[in-house]
Structure 1
Amino acid sequence: MNQTWKSLLEDRNRFFWVLQAAGWSGYALVHYIGSLMHEMRDIYVLILLLGAYAGFLITVPLRYLYRRIWDATPWLLIVVVLAASYVSAALWAVIDNATYWEIYKFGFRPDSPWFYFKNTIAKFYIMLSWSGLYFGIKYYQMLQEEKQKALLATSMAHQAQLKMLRYQLNPHFLFNTLNAISTLILVKENELANRMMSKLSLFLRFSLDNEPIKKIPLEREIEALMLYLDIEKVRFDERLKVSLDIDDEVKQALVPSLMLQPLIENSIKYAIAKMEDGGEIIVKAQRFSEDLLISVADNGPGSKKPIKDMMKQGGVGLVNTRERLQALYGKNYSFTLAENKPQGLRVEIRIPFEQVES
Structure 2
Amino acid sequence: MSKKGIEIAGNFVFWIITGLVIVTHYSFYNITVQTVNGHDTFITTKDEAIFTKLLALIGISCVLFYANFTLVLSLIHGKKMGSIILKSLLLFVAANFAFNIFQHHIFGIHQKSVSILLSSGIIIFYFTASITYATGKIWIITESKNQKLELEKTQAELHLLRSQLHPHFLFNVLNNLLSMVNQKENPALAAAFERLSGLLRYVVVDTADEKIPIRKEIEFIRNFAELHALRFEKEELDFQLEVLGTHEMLLIEPAIFIPFIENAFKYGVEPEKISIIKVVFDLTDEHKIKFSCINQIHETMQQLKGSGMGIESSKKRLNLVYPHRHHLEINQNGNFEVLLEIEVGKSNTNE
Task: Identify whether the pair has TM-score above 0.5, normalized to the shorter chain.
Answer: yes
What is residue 138 of structure 1 aligned with on the other side?
A: 134
Equivalent of 1:266, from 263, 266, 279?
263
Distance 1:284 1:66, change over 3 A: closer
Distance 1:320 1:57, change over 3 A: closer
Structure 2 SS opposite 1:226: helix
**Deviation per CA, 1:99-140, whole angstroms, max 9, x where unpaired?**
8x59xxxx9646xxxx67xx3442233223323332332233
Letter in 1 for 2:22: H
Deviation at 1:185, TM superposition (A): 1.6
Deviation at 1:63, TM superposition (A): 5.2
Does residue 223 of the first structure (1) align with residue 204 of the second (2)? no
Asked whether the 8 Å contact 1:283–1:295 carries over to 2, the reply is yes
Gap regions ≥5 residues in structure 1: 10-14
Asked whether the 8 Å contact 1:89–1:123 carries over to 2, the reply is yes
What is residue 209 of structure 1 aligned with on the other side?
A: 205
Deviation at 1:183, TM superposition (A): 0.9
Does residue 92 of the first structure (1) align with residue 91 of the second (2)? no
**Identical positions, percent:** 19
Equivalent of 1:30, from 6, 21, 24?
21
Deviation at 1:295, TM superposition (A): 1.2
Deviation at 1:178, TM superposition (A): 0.8
Asked whether the 8 Å contact 1:86–1:124 carries over to 2, the reply is no
Does residue 161 of the first structure (1) align with residue 167 of the second (2)? no
What is residue 12 of structure 1 aligned with on the other side?
A: none
Asked whether the 8 Å contact 2:268–2:275 carries over to 1, the reply is yes
Distance 1:242 1:42, change over 3 A: farther
Letter in 1 for 2:200: L
What is residue 349 of structure 1 aligned with on the other side?
A: 339
Distance 1:185 1:282 in 2: 31
Distance 2:173 2:267 in 1: 16
What is residue 314 of structure 2 aligned with on the other side?
A: 321
Deviation at 1:88, TM superposition (A): 0.9
Distance 2:124 2:220 in 1: 66
Letter in 2 for 1:334: L
Distance 1:306 1:186 in 2: 29
TM-score normalised by length of structure 2:
0.72
Structure 2 SS opposite 1:186: coil
Structure 2 SS opposite 1:283: strand
**Deviation per CA, 1:2-37, whole angstroms, max 9, x where unpaired?**
xx12x447xxxxx5x666544432232213543688
Deviation at 1:176, TM superposition (A): 0.9
Structure 2 SS opposite 1:71: coil
Letter in 1 for 2:242: D
**Deviation per CA, 1:257-295, whole angstroms, max 9, x where unpaired?**
21332322333333444245x544321234899975421
Distance 1:42 1:357 in 2: 71
Structure 1 SS opposite 2:281: strand
Equivalent of 2:178, from 177, 182, 197?
182
Letter in 1 for 2:294: A
Structure 1 SS opposite 2:299: coil
Deviation at 1:226, TM superposition (A): 1.9
The alignment of Structure 1 onto Structure 2 pairs a total of residues equal to 328
What is residue 299 of structure 2 aligned with on the other side?
A: 304
Distance 2:69 2:144 in 1: 25
**Structure with greater strand percent:** 2
Distance 2:73 2:217 in 1: 55
> Cα RMSD (Å) of the superposition?
4.3
Asked whether the 8 Å contact 2:60–2:95 carries over to 1, the reply is no
Asked whether the 8 Å contact 1:286–1:294 carries over to 2, the reply is yes
Distance 2:105 2:185 in 1: 104
Does residue 128 of the first structure (1) align with residue 137 of the second (2)? no
Distance 1:162 1:221, change over 3 A: same
Letter in 1 for 2:314: T
Distance 2:299 2:154 in 1: 36
Deviation at 1:296, TM superposition (A): 0.9
Distance 1:160 1:305, change over 3 A: farther
Asked whether the 8 Å contact 2:66–2:130 carries over to 1, the reply is no
Distance 1:269 1:337, change over 3 A: same
Deviates more, 1:17-26 or 1:60-69: 60-69
Letter in 1 for 2:298: S
**Structure with greater helix percent:** 1
Distance 1:319 1:352 in 2: 17
Distance 1:244 1:68 in 2: 61
Distance 1:161 1:68 in 2: 33
Structure 1 SS opposite 2:340: strand
Does residue 56 of the first structure (1) align with residue 62 of the second (2)? yes
Asked whether the 8 Å contact 1:295–1:347 carries over to 2, the reply is yes
Asked whether the 8 Å contact 1:59–1:88 carries over to 2, the reply is no
TM-score normalised by length of structure 1:
0.71
Equivalent of 1:71, from 65, 75, 79?
79
Deviation at 1:167, TM superposition (A): 3.6
Distance 1:80 1:287 in 2: 65
